[in-house]
Amino acid sequence: MRSTIPYKGHIISFTFYKHSLKPTIIMLHGFLASTYCFRKLIPLLQENFQIMSIDIPPFGESEKSNTCLFSYDHMADAVRYIMKDQSIDKAIFLGHSMGGQISLRFAYKYPDHIDRLYLLAPCSFMRHSPLFAKAICHNPLSPFIARSLLKRKGVYEMLRHSIYQDHIITDEMLEHYKKPFLNKKIYPCIIKILNDHQGDLSEEELTTIDIPTNILWGKNDEIIPYEIGYELIKYLPNATLTTLDKTGHLLPEESAHHIAKMVRQANS
């Protein structure tokens, strides 16, 4: 089920639960996460869909090379490349956080190859900052600073700020979320991601996306405030927003059953 594919310097890892007679869902995770975050959701949808979950480079099992491009455009192109390789013409996209913005970018670039959007607390309205990117990228100490910050803050604290219900954080979760950061190669890649960040889609670009879109947001999101969702639906002409009480940013971990119900109902 897990495969890899080379794309413009990247070796991209993905899992594909094939069932050619069913519609395809492509799942894209958020910053610092991996396909692991969808482990609760995938079994709830496998009966009705074939599912592809991609480790967005440099996260998860994908290669960690800081000589590659990490822009949203590049990642959207990579997803389209994988779709072609797997003979997928159209798919439903489900993206969390950064994966939500990549999904929007895909919808903007390839509207004929996407059926529907499910956005879970998607990154939105962040602008490109050339001066910040230049300062970060050209500081030789930046990878060490990134590593130090992550080490000091710790994976548990990162998860605690991303999840409202602390009790669901297990030792197994901590091990999986910690695993990519044991590889020192990831830290220069994180700096490269910040440098390559081109900004989120503009309000004008968002208005061109008329694909049916369901947005889900936790009201206790400490990473990206749910109020941004109300701004987002002003510019997406065919979007609805649902907010969840007592739910944080990491929706696939906290609200897998709610997400699955939303997807099944919208595609029934």
Instruction: Please tell me the predicted confidence (pLDDT) of residue 148.
Output: 53
Domains belonging to the chain, first-starting first, are 2-127+200-266 (3.40.50.1820)
How far, in Å, CA of 12 to CA of 173, rounded?
A: 22
Which residues are the active-site residues? 97, 249
Query: Pick the residue with more confidence: 88 or 199?
Result: 88
**What mean pLDDT comes out for the span 101-125?**
96
Query: Pick the residue with more confidence: 157 or 113?
Result: 113
Is the pLDDT at 132 greater than 50? The verdict is no
Instruction: Work out the number of other CB atoms within 10 angstroms of the CB of residue 29.
Output: 27
Instruction: Please tell me the predicted confidence (pLDDT) of residue 96.
Output: 97
**% the chain with pLDDT above 70:** 90
The pTM of this model reads: 0.91
Instruction: Please tell me the predicted confidence (pLDDT) of residue 145.
Output: 44
Instruction: Please tell me the predicted confidence (pLDDT) of residue 136.
Output: 40
Report the candidate in 12, 23, 11 with the shortest Cα–Cα distance to residue 51. Answer: 23
Task: Please tell me whether residue 75 adopts helix, strand or coil conformation.
Answer: helix
